[in-house]
Amino acid sequence: MIDFSKLDKTIHEKARLGIMTLLASRANPWPFQDLKVELEMSDGNLITHIRTLEQAGYLTGEKFTGDGRPQTLYTLTAAGRKAFVDYLAILEQILNLGK
Amino acid sequence: MIDFSKLDKTIHEKARLGIMTLLASRANPWPFQDLKVELEMSDGNLITHIRTLEQAGYLTGEKFTGDGRPQTLYTLTAAGRKAFVDYLAILEQILNLGK
DNA sequence: CTTACAGCTTTGCTCCGCAAAGCTGGTGCC
DNA sequence: GGCACCAGCTTTGCGGAGCAAAGCTGTAAG
């Protein structure tokens, strides 16, 4: 049967699940502003969840200046990608059981 | 893109997601004790989440006595099944985007 | 130099998961 | 009948987390 206790608590949260999904959905890094618009979050809320994921080692941010307005780009780490794949594996089990 | 705000907050919670998945995984109702063992939860914790789902109209419980030890059986309501299917639809979107 | 904007921090409120303890009514056993 | 046990359920309290709101810093634009 499914082991729900293995569901990564850091990822299994609407906001952070959104961030992880977007970062995993393409190879290019995501600018802070794009995440904010796409997920419809406030600065404070978004940065808090980003920090949580960062402290978990799931993503990194790099700040760029000099070329237009400053912006910070976020990317999944290898650990983040693995954790997300593991998470998706459980989602798949739930989907298969649910229908 | 995926609308994460549509992720049902009542279902999107490890414990309750477990309950909903089990109830949806078969036609027969689930006894309280079976849910408890399968999900490894305490009485108090389990009943609390069941109450939450019940107040949302997602499941109903029926208590039976007279035939051996008393037991309560839980079943998904039509609304609960629909809400869960909708939830699974979003999970599917996440899965498709994630790989 | 002044305004605007990107990113980030801090504070505080509120809500929720969870453990712990206890209560009630049905059941088995002597 | 009387006693111990178990299923289900309630209540209380604590700790933690999401989120809004406000403000701060540094960079770019005009």
Above pLDDT 70, what percent of chain B?
99
Bridge partner list, A73: A31, A62
Q: Can you give the distance from the CA of residue A64 to the C1' of nucleotide D27 in angstroms?
A: 11
- Measured between beta carbons, which residues in chain B are less than 8 angstroms from residue A25? 97-98
Region A27-43: mean pLDDT is 97
Q: Can you give the distance from the CA of residue A45 to the C1' of nucleotide D23 in angstroms?
A: 15
Region A9-30: mean pLDDT is 97
pLDDT of B99 higher than 70: no
Residue B99 in contact with partner chain A when CB distance is under 8 A: yes
Residue B90 in contact with partner chain A when CB distance is under 8 A: no
Region A54-58: mean pLDDT is 98
pLDDT of A6 higher than 70: yes
How many CB atoms lie under 10 A from the CB of residue B90? Answer: 17
pLDDT of B98 higher than 80: no
Each residue's pLDDT tens digit, B27-49: 999 999 999 999 999 999 999 99
Nucleotides of C under 7 A from a protein CB: 5-11, 16-22, 25-28
Tokens matching residue A39 = 């997920």
Region A23-39: mean pLDDT is 97
pLDDT band at A73 (very low <50, low <70, confident <90, very high): very high
Measured between CA atoms, how close is B18 to chain A, in angstroms? Answer: 6
| pLDDT the model gives residue A3 | 94
Above pLDDT 90, what percent of chain A?
95
d(CA A29, CA A16): 16
A4 Cα distance to chain centroid: 20
| pLDDT the model gives residue B67 | 87
Residue A26 in contact with partner chain B when CB distance is under 8 A: no
For an interface test with A, give the residue of B37, B46, B94, B97 to mutate (most A CBs within 10 A). B94
Chain A, chain B: beta-carbon pairs less than 8 Å apart = 68
| pLDDT the model gives residue B4 | 95
* Residue-averaged pLDDT of chain B: 96
- Measured between beta carbons, which residues in chain A are less than 8 angstroms from residue B17? 4, 7, 94
pLDDT of A96 higher than 90: yes
Q: What is this structure's pTM?
A: 0.95
d(CA B75, CA B81): 10
pLDDT of A98 higher than 80: no
Measured between CA atoms, how close is B28 to chain A, in angstroms? Answer: 14
B10, B49 contact by CB (below 8 A): no
